[in-house]
Chains A and B, each alone.
Chain A
Amino acid sequence: MQVENAIQTINLTKTFKSKIQTSETKFYNRTTVSVNAIDNLNLEINKGELFGLLGPNGAGKTTLVKMLCTLLPPDSGTALINGYDIVKEQMKVKRSLGTLFSVGERGFFWRLNGYRNLEFFASIYNVPRPKRQERILEVLKLVGLENSAFELYQKYSGGMKRKLALARTLLPDPPVILLDEPTTGLDVISSRNVREFVKSTVLETGKTVLYTTHYIEEAAQICTRIGILKQGRIVACDTPDALRHKIKNEEIIYLVVEEIVQDQINKISSLRGVIGISERTDQELMPNQKGLCVELESVDQLPSIFDFLFKQKIKLVNFKREEPTLEDAFIELTKRA
């Protein structure tokens, strides 16, 4: 069955030209350099997917979001939002999208309260008049601002402003939502609230979300798939689990054992399926204990290790399977590309 895409980029390209000073002393010695912000990008995001876009600063995340919401015209290629072309069908694209910019507080009116701000945006986003009030109260409740709806925007905290920006994004009930670094500048609790809210919104309403961030674990927690962007190109794209294992296929287990000698450690390293073994000294252990990191070809080799320990009468105090982190994967994959 063919899966319909909510977002699809087709050879999308954007190059910026900027002048840089080539002499430390002569400000007029300048040369023009071209930077490929988005480089021939092909990306497909399914309907109902919460897709994370990870990338270091300057990778092109915000540029991509701005192109998808029609703010930046592409140099070549195009993208489809909900089936509409971002170059040829801009108005239809705008009607299908809700966009939260990384600095989402700029368009609000400081002397109006939260409700009145949303009332204004509801009108320009064509929310039908009879449903307007109900919808505003609904989104305010969704983001947890129902009790502060009639407070002046200028009195809102940073977290509340972000939530109101999120409410504005959801106001027209768009099928596709672009969230550009939605938790930047938020405290831990507010960030978690936003993440949980985004995840539940996708699950409950079937919306498609493109979520850009440079917080790796944030993407790992909520996204169904993650794309890693570097210099305008997707260098890896998969589920968080698959990305973790993209850099290392082997299993790493951590063992804490008692009364083991070097000869026994050497014997473990020569067991079938054991790639390597190393002693870890960063954990607090009793004087008769040792912490060992064992790299295995696969988890199937575990019984032979336990069997060896049992036969050698080595007491196993602790055992932990160590997963490669998404951060490891991110650093490795962006380094490789």
Chain B
Amino acid sequence: MTVLDELEKIWYFMKRDMISFSTYKTNIAILFLTAVFGALSFAYLGSNASMQSVLKLYGESLTTYIIIGLAFSTYLTQSLTLVQKTINPWALEEVLVSPTGLSTFIVGSSIWSFIWSTGTVVIYLVIGVFVFGIPLSINILGTIIVVALGISAFIGFSMIGSGILILTKQGDPVSALITIATSLFGNVLFPPQVLPPLLQTIAYVLPQYYFFKCIRLMLTGSTIQMILPELEILALMCAIIVPLGYAIYAVCLKTARKNGTLSWF
């Protein structure tokens, strides 16, 4: 056994992985986009323009802005992976043969995740208030409404992604793209107003932008009337995304059932 033989083995390991990797074209694209958008997000986060823009738009410090953004993004992250986690193809067959509806499963399986997310949000806010001294004046009803709408929109995205996953069995491009879009255009770490005008347009067609805008205002003393225009847009987006997501999920599920590929993974 020579060194050359060992090197040849290592080459075949690498070749095996390279060929397998090359078959996941969507994943390659997502990895590339994640790297590009990740770098851009942190570049904008560190810019002076972000600080000035936050102060001008929300009248708050960048610390307050980021803590609220990170805290409430846990709800969206949970919602985005919810359907995939709870109705995954491994357990799906067991669910579908029981006399319990899919919607009960999704709702039932999500409750604990949201209780847990609420705990996380509270931890963020407590640290924010007591360690960083961020000023909070919470409109509880408004916060509940905005969170409910944000969760609904993201469950809609989750259903689209899970539906595609059930059919393609190769990664969930929708959830990956939504995560990338949230980090750059979502109003989480910096306001999209610091982006070039063309990229700002993308932010305005995403529910994340309106969700974070409304939630920030609901936590810093605004009334529901003051966020009504944004709230209406968020509600309208929900009214489109949720039925669309359900329809796509149902069609993909029906197709997989028809083809007998439901449990293939």
Q: Do B97 and A69 have beta carbons less than 8 Å apart? A: yes
B185 to chain A, nearest CB (A): 37
Looking at B94, B262, B263, which has the most chain A CB atoms within 10 Å of its CB?
B94
Report the separation of the CA atoms of residues A257 and B95 in the bound assembly, to the nearest whole angstrom: 64
Q: Do A106 and B91 have beta carbons less than 8 Å apart? A: yes
Which chain A residue shows the least CB distance to B259?
A: A16
Residues of A within 8 A of B257 (CB): 71-73
Report the separation of the CA atoms of residues A69 and B262 in the bound assembly, to the nearest whole angstrom: 14
Report the separation of the CA atoms of residues A17 and B258 in the bound assembly, to the nearest whole angstrom: 10
Q: Do B97 and A106 have beta carbons less than 8 Å apart? A: no
Stretch at the interface among A94-102, A130-138, A289-297, A301-309: A94-102
B105 to chain A, nearest CB (A): 8
Q: How large is the interface on B (under 10, 10 to 19, 20 to 34, 35 or more residues)?
A: 10 to 19
Q: 0/1 per residue, A3-43, Cβ < 8 Å to B? A: 00000000000101100000000000000000001000000
Asked if A148 is an interface residue, CB under 8 A from chain B, the answer is no
Q: Do B93 and A71 have beta carbons less than 8 Å apart? A: yes
Asked if B96 is an interface residue, CB under 8 A from chain A, the answer is yes
Chain A residues within 8 Å of chain B by Cβ, number: 24
Report the separation of the CA atoms of residues A107 and B96 in the bound assembly, to the nearest whole angstrom: 11
A20 to chain B, nearest CB (A): 15
Q: Do B99 and A94 have beta carbons less than 8 Å apart? A: yes
Asked if B196 is an interface residue, CB under 8 A from chain A, the answer is no
B residues 91-128 in Cβ contact with A at 8 Å? 91, 93-100, 104-105
Residues of A within 8 A of B254 (CB): 73
Report the separation of the CA atoms of residues A126 and B104 in the bound assembly, to the nearest whole angstrom: 13
B residues 62-113 in Cβ contact with A at 8 Å? 90-91, 93-100, 104-105
Asked if B197 is an interface residue, CB under 8 A from chain A, the answer is no
Which chain B residue shows the least CB distance to A75?
A: B258
* Beyond A95-B99, A106-B94, A125-B98, 17 extra complex contacts between A and B, CB < 8 Å: A14-B260, A16-B259, A16-B260, A66-B260, A69-B97, A70-B96, A71-B97, A71-B257, A71-B262, A72-B260, A94-B97, A97-B97, A106-B90, A107-B95, A124-B98, A124-B104, A125-B99
Chain B contacts to A: CB under 8 angstroms: 90-91, 93-100, 104-105, 254, 257-260, 262-263
